[in-house]
Structure 1
Amino acid sequence: MSATENEAQTAPGTAQFRASGRTAGPASSTEDAELLAALGYEQKFDRKVSLWANFALGFVYLSPLVGVVSLFAVGLATAGGPAIFWIGLVGIGQFLVALVFGEVVSQFPLAGGLYQWVRRLWNGRYAWFTAWTYICCITIGITSTALFSSDFVASLFGGTADQPGISSTPAERLWIALGMTVFCLICNCFGTRTLALISKIGLAAELIGIVLVGFYLLIFERHNSVSIFLETSSSTHDHYFGAFIAASLVGLFLFYGFEACGEIAEEVPNPARSIPRAMQLTVAVGGLAAVFAFIGYALAAPDLPAILSGEDSNPIPSILQSSIGTVGTKLVLLVTLTSFVAGVMSQQAAASRIVFSFARDNMFPGARLFSRISRRHRVPLNALLAVNIAPVLLFVFVYYSPDSLTKIAAFQMLAGYAAFMMVVLAALRMRLKGWRPAGAWTLGRWGIVVNVAALGYGLLGMVLLAWPTGDSATAFVDRWIALIGFLVVSAVGLVYLLTAKPERNSTAPEGDALEVAERLRSRAALITSTTGGTNA
């Protein structure tokens, strides 16, 4: 019996791929295409995203520079300097989640990430709800990132030496967010190569904005003592414990986006090995960069009491103006704006790939339309356009309700953590059923321990995100807005899921994680035996 015939028995899809006469795309290796075929899909994307480009994509999605400049004032006003510790605490927890994701994506390096993972780890219905939750999260992520950029754009083009940090008006915020979204959408339409290039530019911009500016602030512009990171006082809470818990948003809002590395798995060469590494690098390097930036800005703040009291809600431009002057401030704001562009682009790309993957399995309304790939640039153009409709509508909503931006962001993070924990829970469930990850990267005997720890951390994070904000004078809906928003979106998804039953129409390849793991092990053993171990 020939090697190809043997492989047809152990890895259905691989032999069919070869027999069909299809060849991998111009930037795709035969091995990657055969692994994809073994998982039941045909290679359609070009694999042009290298390990470093994939890391850059996750890094600019997480964007420590954007996260710190957006949350710096909120953290200090809520709990003072010790708010910085949440970056480390959340970073450790999310690194555990990234390790679990790494094992799963190594076995299932498929476009659409979370949806594809949980479909194999649980079932189609569970996968549909996970994907619904996650798509809502990313859609609002596009909205909040574009809107948060407005003050920095306003400061870049309208700030003065006397008033470097200015807040955009509702009308300016609307037009800036629209312009940002449309520009990023156009760039994304030019394909994976453009996405990878801008991700790398964004990574370089982030590192310049954090490392060079951070070092300068720490060495030449220190106005405050490092003791501020140990001073436990708050002007917004009667008891410091409550203030410190409220400041958890500094870390919880910052550490997400590493999963985007897996959303474009079918555009990455050797994804089973490179994507887990990219995820881990995203969390580790992003966390260290965020801590460094937070320390630099806090120690260089010329009027720290104004930030702690909440009087100065946009202090970064003022800190830069007093430290590096008008020209330097404009350059750093330009770098920050580059990071915003890369961040929005990566969110659009991640959302479009999960919609494409959803539609490819006939699990999404208009599946035939959204599963199409453009011929020239090899992108899911219709899906890319679709994921930007809701952000545009939300821009208009925020225009008429300017105070709703933070409420939208609160729901976004709770939905994101819920989707993450659905993956972690599904992985733990499958482990207890005997699943041993069969990808090129695994945790080995530590898998179950890390999985349980990641689930515990994630559930704690969800509790903190759902916890009521404000005080007794704050309206009930405003205090519980994150949880209420999450429950409403979940209810809508469940109603559709239970009435339309989209999983019944699924054309997805069969086989759960256990079956696929054995199939991949058999495939690996076959390759080893036919090549003498050189490709093991």
Structure 2
Amino acid sequence: MPETTSPGGSEPSLDADAQRLAALGYESEFKRDMSLWANFSLGFTYLSPVVGVYTLFASSLAAGGPPMIWGIVIAGLGQLLVALVFSEVVAQFPVSGGVYPWARRLWGRKWGWMTGWIYLLALMSTISAVAYGAGPFVAALFGFTSSTTTTIWCALGMLALATVVNLGGTKLVSMVAFFAFAAELVGALAVGAWLLITHREHGLGAIFDSFGAGADGSYTSAFLGASLIGVFLFFGFEACGDVAEEIPNPGRQIPVSMRRTIYIGGGAALGVTLALIMSVADIGAVIAGKDTDPVGTVLNEAFGAAGARVVIGIVLISFVSCTLSLQAAASRLAYSFARDRMIVGSRALSVMSDRLRVPPYALLLAAVLPALIIVGSAYSADALTKIISFSTVGIYLSFQMVVLAALRARLKGWRPTGDYTNGRWGLLVNAGALLYGVLALVNMCWGRTPGVAWYDNYIVLLSGAVVVAAGLVYLFVARPHERSDAPAGDALQGVADRPGTGRSTEAGAPAGIG
């Protein structure tokens, strides 16, 4: 289909984007108000290197010592492969909702529904985790004692703030995301540079020294546990594709945003982690459990009480923006589900605000469910921990369902036809992304606390199994996929007639799970 171009001739016009979307079976109700940098900022603030590193640094350093930084490198490379696969898919199917429509187009309705179900619940629990995690930083900033009650109220306030911004429309979200990206990146670079210049306690060789971590057993096991900091950190790039109908020329721009999210976000995470490692005076005390808050210790020693509060303020900006981006992604997924009539409450969740061009009820769902999870944590000491245990494994599982669907489609003859492809490296990249994802899932689910009850030792695996089992029961009892007549499995459309495929039957939606 020929594309009209803008007066400058560099990008397809909005009419061309609308025509491309219509060819995919949809008429978008969103405004394409999001620029390339705003789209990248959404992914960056979702990934949020400051939130990830500051939250997980203490436990990772205690488990594996300074070499845990290599876990970030490994996860970054692995997730870059996943991002390259996603780039091909979103370039061919630039539809709002991310992994759900991608899985649906690559395999079929059932596979798409299960992928969306897992990802939606994982996003909801991740929103609650990020909002909840901000509570202690709010207490530190304003000088009051952190407790379960204050943390819950802070989390609810953060959810309310993110919802108000999201209800303001794509343009407002873009502005806030870009400001938060700039603040987080500048803050991370400034803090890292200051620590390395004025507060460095170790040389670069420290990142090869375990400082006795894992001495009681296998260091490989200790390193794998510590490397989860990278696994938990490197997702968020998919949010760039969740808003595919809100950015001009998405087939070209979103793949760029995804790669930038990995490059810049990963670089910032590595820089912050390296600076913190080299600034911890007594790493042995962290490993021995004597210093349980090495980040707080370093910040107070390097910046003093007043300076540490400034840094904490920047960290809080990161928490707010991360919550905002997660909520935006979850609402677009819920809207995409509802538009295809694949979810309970589809009529309300698919409503679009005439003035702001955002789905208000889908946004409210992305506020109410996380709020209920947060409030529920007050009634059980480990309720929130159990629910959040599913967050990352659910996101990785939904990612790998898309990667597997893409690999299956590729082996059946699919060749990406969007504005971005991985060319002759496509099959190798796809296989590598699947291998990394499977290994990461095994690492997350592996029981590492044999001294506790078996169900606590395997809580990540069990929580994932419960969500998948519940989804399968609902899928085969309620059969939500049968309510939708939107296109599915069309990545393979026309493959049967392509020379060299060895097939003579007409292509269509795949059978079986599709």
TM-score by length of 1: 0.88
Q: Does 1:119 align with 2:97?
A: no
State the alpha-carbon separation in 2 of the partners of residues 272 and 518 from structure 1: 25
Contact 1:139 1:387 in 2 (8 A): yes
Q: Which residue of 2 aligns with 1:438?
A: 417
Cα drift, residue 389 of structure 1? 2.2
| Preserved contact between residue 69 and residue 227 of structure 2 (Cα < 8 Å) | no
Q: Does 1:397 align with 2:376?
A: yes
Residue 119 of structure 1: CA displacement? 0.8
In structure 1, the partner of 2:503 is none
**How far apart in 2 are the matches of 1:331 and 1:190?**
28
**CA-CA distance at 1:511 after TM superposition:** 6.1
| SS class of match (1:438) | coil
Cα pair 1:124 1:503 within 8 Å, conserved: yes
Q: Residues 173 and 510 of structure 1: is their aligned pair in 2 closer, same or farther, counting only changes over 3 Å?
A: closer
1:80–1:228 CA contact under 8 A, matched in 2 = no
CA deviations on 1:433-471 (whole Å, 9 max, x unpaired) are 11110100101111011001110110001100111121x
Partner of 1:284: 263
C-alpha distance in 2 between matches for 1:261 and 1:145: 19
Question: 5+ unaligned residues in a row in structure 1: which ranges?
Answer: 1-6, 15-26, 160-165, 520-536
2:108–2:488 Cα contact (<8 Å) kept: no
- Residue identity opposite 1:32 in structure 2: D
Q: Distance in 1 between matches of 2:296 and 2:104?
A: 46
Aligned to 2:48: 63
Contact 2:107–2:489 at 8 Å: present in 1 too? no
1:222 aligns to what?
Answer: 200
Secondary structure of 1:252's aligned partner: helix
SS at match of 2:493: helix
Alignment equivalent of 1:195, drawn from 168, 173, 176: 173
1:202/1:402 Cα in 2 relative to 1: closer, same or farther (>3 Å)?
A: farther
Q: Which residue of 1 aligns with 2:92?
A: 107
- Equivalent of residue 251 in structure 2, options 255, 261, 272: 272
Report how far residue 405 of structure 1 moved: 4.3
CA distance in 1, matches of 2:241, 2:286: 38
The match for 1:49 among 22, 31, 34 is 34
1:406 to partner: Cα distance: 4.3
Asked if the contact 1:189–1:381 (Cα under 8 Å) also holds between the matched residues in 2, the reply is yes
SS in 2 for 1:229: helix
Would the aligned equivalents of 1:191 and 1:378 in 2 still touch at CA under 8 Å?
yes
Give deviations 1:445-499, integer Å, cap 9, x for gaps.
11011001110110001100111121x3211111000000001111111110000
Aligned 8 A contact 1:469 1:478 in 2: no
Provide the C-alpha distance between the structure 2 equivalents of 1:155 and 1:510, rounded to a whole number of angstroms.
50
- Return closer, same or farther for 1:203/1:109 CA change in 2, 3 Å cut-off: same
| Greater displacement, 219-228 / 69-78 | 219-228
Question: After the TM superposition, which residues 69-108 of structure 1 pair with which residues of structure 2 at under 5 Å, given as runs?
Answer: 69-108=54-93
Q: Deviations over 1:137-190 (max 9, x none)?
A: 10011011011111111111117xxxxxx7x21111111111111111111110
Per the alignment, in what secondary structure is the counterpart of residue 447 of structure 1? helix
Over the matched positions of the two proteins, sequence identity in percent amounts to: 46
Distance 1:109 1:381 in 2: 22
Deviation at 1:236, TM superposition (A): 8.1
Distance 1:414 1:38 in 2: 34
1:490 and 2:472 matched: no
SS at match of 2:134: helix
Does structure 2 retain, via aligned residues, the 8 Å contact 1:62–1:254?
yes
Q: Which residue of 2 aligns with 1:330?
A: 309
- Which residue number corresponds to residue 509 of structure 1? 487
Aligned length: 489
Pick one of 383, 398, 413 that aligns with 2:392.
413
Q: What is the Cα deviation at residue 411 of structure 1?
A: 1.5
Moved more, 41-50 or 234-243: 234-243
CA distance in 2, matches of 1:431, 1:243: 37
Residues 1:129 and 2:118 aligned together: no
Find the counterpart in structure 2 of residue 477 from structure 1: 455
What is the one-letter code of the residue matched to 2:131?
A
**Which runs of structure 2 are paired with 1:197-212 in the superposition (5 Å)?**
197-212=175-190
**Structure 1 vs Structure 2 CA RMSD:** 2.1
Work out whether residues 437 and 517 of structure 1, in 8 Å CA contact, stay in contact via their aligned partners in 2.
no
The aligned counterpart of 1:157 is: 142
Change in Cα spacing, 1:356 to 1:453, as seen in structure 2 (3 Å) is: same
Change (3 A) 1:255 1:517: farther
Q: Deviations over 1:171-220 (max 9, x none)?
A: 11111111111111111110111111111111112112211111111111
Indicate the residue corresponding to 1:183 in structure 2: 161
Shift of 1:327: 2.3
Letter in 1 for 2:293: N
Tell me, yes or no, if the aligned pair for 2:376 and 2:384 is still in contact at 8 Å. no
Three-state SS of the structure 1 residue aligned to 2:34 is: coil
Which amino acid in structure 2 is aligned with residue 79 of structure 1?
G
Following superposition, the deviation at residue 237 of structure 1 comes to: 4.7
Return the letter of the residue paired with 1:205.
Answer: A
Structure 2 alignment gaps of length 5 or more:
4-11, 498-514
Partner in structure 2 of residue 17 of structure 1: none
8 A Cα contact 1:91 1:255, kept in partner: yes
TM-score with structure 2 setting the length: 0.92
| 1:299 counterpart (274, 278, 283) | 278
- After superposition, give the CA deviation of every residue in 1:264-309 in whole Å (9 maximum; x if it has no partner): 0000111000001101110111111111100111111244333222
Q: Residues 420, 354 of structure 1: CA spacing in aligned structure 2 closer, same or farther, 3 A cutoff? A: same
For residue 233 of structure 2, give the secondary structure of its aligned residue in structure 1.
Answer: coil
